[in-house]
Structure 1
Amino acid sequence: MTVTRGELAMLTTTGRDPLGLLREQNATREQWLIPLRMARMAQSPFTFYRGTAALMAADHSRDPHSGIPVVSSGDAHLSNFGFYATPQRTQAFDLNDFDESAWAPWEWDLKRLVTSVIIGGRDTDRSEKVVQAAAADAVRAYVSSLNTSDGYSPLERYYSHFNQEMARRHLGKESRRVLEEAAEDSRKRTSDRAARRLTEETADGKRRFFEAPPVMSHVADEVELNVADNYRQYLLSAKADIRMLLTHYTLEDIVRRVVGVGSVGTRCYLVLLRDADGGVLILQVKQALRSALEEYGGFPQPEVLTETTGVSGEGARVVGQQRILQAYSDPFLGFLQSASSGRSFYVRQYHDMKGSVEIGELGDTAFNGYAIVCGAVLARAHAQSVNARKVVTFIGGGKRIRRAILDWSNDYADLSLGDYQAFISSEMVDEKTGR
């Protein structure tokens, strides 16, 4: 092993240039959207943290690590867990963002989650006692769930998942109620509802997306034709049953849609499909960049993943890692690589019972319960990797690792707050749109 458990508490604060890294990222994005990205990141310390996965990966690269890699989310903060529909039309609760997914030391994901508990808790005006208890319980849940998974066979770990029934058994009344309300709200988020809210019927009987710039706007004709051509390439990466299903639909409209915080400035499109009876299906085509864990964290990737990415693009990485980390994945997942631009994309359904928990609306007890759930879900994802047993052995009883993760995460929360304050005082934030 590279380090002891206690050494995982070490945070290196030298050699950092957080604003320089953000400028470097901005240079590769659509420049007309950079002010919007900066404005969203400037809203609060937590939204800033959400947009700085690359910065955290760069900081990880300077710190001691366990040397035990697992398939990782790369951005496992509290807002990147949520509900979505399974292919069986039931609801699952799981990780739901995989843009940065790759192989990395297991503790990098856990530290990002625990730090988000601390920053998110402080950002929603909770007492330090409540914040620290939630952070500690997230680590306990991760360790406990990973130990439980170690007693399962690989097949049993593969089939395990988190659902509302598990929440009822393991969480308090307030936490159960909050998750159930969030699940109920997400069940309403369907392609039909999205079509009613985002599209209108034209005089010729077709449907067309509304214009709502800069968040949603139609693209130039040549871009639309390129996306349409790439849609056909996506079909080749989709499963055979999905390819057959999509033969019942025709492509009716394409729009650019700005999403998220850290993703603002990358290329993202919505594709409106209709069947012969007027039924709608909306797919999201989202640009996939190189994983921050590799690009900024500097962590070497397995040869098989490097080869896959080299042949099929970063979209193939995102889709592959998502299928590993989630208990159930969107059946419409696929990827493509533009022949004209070389850019990589992945494809998924838009608003298929997807929803997340707004941490600002949680009481303290529910906030703690939500942190526990996220810790357990992260453990289930990491348990799929062949190195999971090595992680269990490294962690041991859990007390020392909990202290190390908490110490590092508290220090990083303070460091991130300083970065945020420097950010909002910089020229990067437009005073008219900043906060």
Structure 2
Amino acid sequence: MTSDTGTLEGHPHPSPRERAAVGKAARARVPRSSHAEYSPSKRRVDPLEILERQATARVQELVPIRRSRMRESPFRYYRGAAAPMAADLANTPVTGIRVQLCGDAHVLNFGLFASPERHLVFDVNDFDETLPGPWEWDVKRLAASLAIAGRENGFTDLERAYIVSAAVRSYREWIRTFAGMHNLDVWYAQTKMEGIEALVADQLGKGKRRKLSKVMEKARGRDNIQAFEKLTGIVDGERQIIPAPPLVVPIGDLLPNVERAALEHEIRALIARYAGTLRPDYRQLLSQFRLVDMARKVVGVGSVGTRCWIILMLGRDEEDPLLIQVKEAERSVLAEYAGESEYDNQGQRVVAGQRLMQAASDIFLGWERATGIDGRERDFYVRQLRDWKGSIDTAVMLPEGLRILGELCGFSLARAHARSGDRIAIAAYLGGGDSFDRALTDFAENYADQNERDHEALVEAVDSGRLVSDAA
């Protein structure tokens, strides 16, 4: 019910003028130029200590794989170092305007996937660390990732500055655009790749347009059928997940018979309970599939060591597959600095954040809690393993390609923040000039320097034998 004071259920609704005043007032407290600053705090905790604390709750036999992947390059290290950067961001200037954060908004955590309407869309696609917090943190993680990726590709200082400033400008301009839009228009906005292809066609040569089309076509091919053909085969007349240890290990190869039976029972029960978090129509669809096989899977860089299962289900017949992923959800790395989640279940935290930030989410996205064979309760979220999923390989990009990708990321992040936070206040703070763009270009380079120092420390720790690494 709306009261005569313009509230809904007692919550105030400030006018656009009042919301803009909040953003403009923040400029006096936190000048936009102040975001250029980064220097390690005198009380900075050793990033390796943070990573090792994080590893204690993970599958210990997989932790060396994570270290090996992070050791490969500064960019690979950065992808796994969301926790150390969260601690660093907590000591940077913030306006006090909060949004739903991705929490790990580096450039490779944006990509292609299918909407429920079967459109190929571009959006944020990783939400393990999602939590409400300062909007600046996501933008800074994105900006630094572009600078680090540019360094890995050998781009010049000017080329990297061009790329980072373009991405931040895209975020700023789109936030300002969303600030002037109606609420429903913001909510329904999404990035269809067909529209992007037309939008950038005049900026790309014929060869690059073909390359973009191939990326889109490859993403459409990365579906349940493709994953089904790659990950499964016929063994003794039955469809099963094919072992590829240590990255994919079927449950039958993982544990002795008694423990295996207990774990399989718990995972089956988890799937049955998780169905209750789906919409009734999607729950009905899921009920038409039967569980056939399951395996442990190693995923990503930062997530290596978390408990992750792939589940093979079959529908009408042996050629009607559904592959879903059950992934452990830990406490967000932001929680220590931004506050705890309102959700008791960390899987629900991930799902709620994803649904809030994404324009279109997986129809099988849900959550549940399960008890392991060690007697410990753990939280999980569940989604399809692949649904037209595709990422873009920044390692083979030229500066112009990374600039366009950065601008798309800036748009997607602005749209996600506009759905959950005060877009008018953020837009008023950013303004129409490029002060914030220039500040974050400096921040990105400053943090890229820090990232290289941290990566070198990891390399030294592995080479000296202080930390065990396993190439896999």
How far does the alpha carbon of each residue in 1:108-136 deviate from its partner, in whole angstroms, 9 at most, with x for none? 00010010000001111222221110011
Aligned letter for 1:408? F
Determine if contact 2:288/2:315 at 8 Å carries over to the other structure. yes
Instruction: Find the aligned partners of 1:428 and 1:392 in 2 and give their Cα distance.
Output: 47
User: Partner amino acid for 2:126?
Assistant: D
1:355 corresponds, among 373, 378, 390, to 390
Are the structure 2 counterparts of residues 431 and 157 from structure 1 closer, same or farther at C-alpha, using a change threshold of 3 Å?
closer
2:359 paired residue number: 327
Q: State the match for 2:303 in structure 1.
A: 263
Question: CA-to-partner distance for each residue in 1:65-102, whole Å, 9 max, x for gaps?
Answer: 12111111011111111111111112111110000111
Find 2:212's aligned residue among 168, 172, 179.
179
Alignment check: 8 A CA contact 1:251 1:272 kept: yes
1:154-201 deviations in Å (ceiling 9; x for gaps): 100010111221342246215654433211111111111111111112
Where 1:63 maps in the other structure, the secondary structure is: coil
Report whether the alignment pairs 1:300 with 2:345. no
Q: 2:97 maps to which residue?
A: 68
Q: State the distance in 1 between where 2:359 and 2:247 align.
A: 31
For 2:161, the equivalent position in structure 1 comes to 132
- Establish whether residue 420 from structure 1 lines up as the match of residue 455 from structure 2: yes
Query: What is the root-mean-square deviation of aligned Cα atoms in Å?
Result: 1.6
Scaled by the length of structure 1, what TM-score is found? 0.94
**Residues of 2 paired with 1:292 and 1:223: CA distance?**
28
Structure-1 separation of matches of 2:213 and 2:166: 21
1:391 aligned partner:
426
**CA displacement, residues 206-254 of structure 1 (integer Å, 9 cap, x when unaligned):** 3110111110102331222211111111111111111111221110001
Q: Does 1:286 align with 2:327?
A: yes
Are 2:356 and 1:317 equivalent residues in the alignment? no
Matching residue of 1:41 = 70
1:189 aligned partner: 222
**1:94 to 2:126 alignment:** no
Larger Rg: 2
Match of 1:55 in 2: 84
**Which residue is equivalent to 1:169?**
199
Looking at structure 2, the residues matched to 428 and 398 of structure 1 have their Cα atoms a distance apart, in angstroms, of 48
One-letter amino acid of the structure 1 residue matched with residue 287 of structure 2 = T
Give the Cα separation in 2 of the matches to 1:267 and 1:27: 13
Q: Secondary structure at the match of 2:377?
A: coil
CA deviations 1:283-331 (Å, max 9, x no partner) are: 0000111111113xx1125xxx51xx22xx0000111110111111101
Residue identity (%): 37
Structure 1 residue 150: deviation in Å?
Answer: 1.1
**Structure 2 CA distance for aligned equivalents of residues 162 and 88 of structure 1:** 13
CA distance in 1, matches of 2:295, 2:398: 38
> Which residue matches 1:248?
288
Letter in 1 for 2:296: R
Q: Aligned AA for 1:197?
A: K
Count of aligned positions: 424
Contact 1:266–1:287 (Cα < 8 Å) also in 2: yes
The equivalent position to 1:118 in structure 2, one of 122, 147, 160, is 147
Asked whether the 8 Å contact 2:99–2:422 carries over to 1, the reply is yes
After TM superposition, the structure 1 stretch with the greater mean CA deviation from structure 2, 162-171 or 64-73, is: 162-171
2: CA distance between counterparts of 1:235 and 1:4?
A: 48
Q: Could you tell me which amino acid in structure 2 is paired with residue 356 of structure 1?
A: S
Could you tell me how far 1:382 is from its partner in structure 2? 0.8
Which runs of structure 2 are paired with 1:400-411 in the superposition (5 Å)?
400-411=435-446
| Structure 1 unaligned spans of 5+ | none
- Greater alpha carbon shift after TM alignment, 280-289 vs 62-71: 62-71
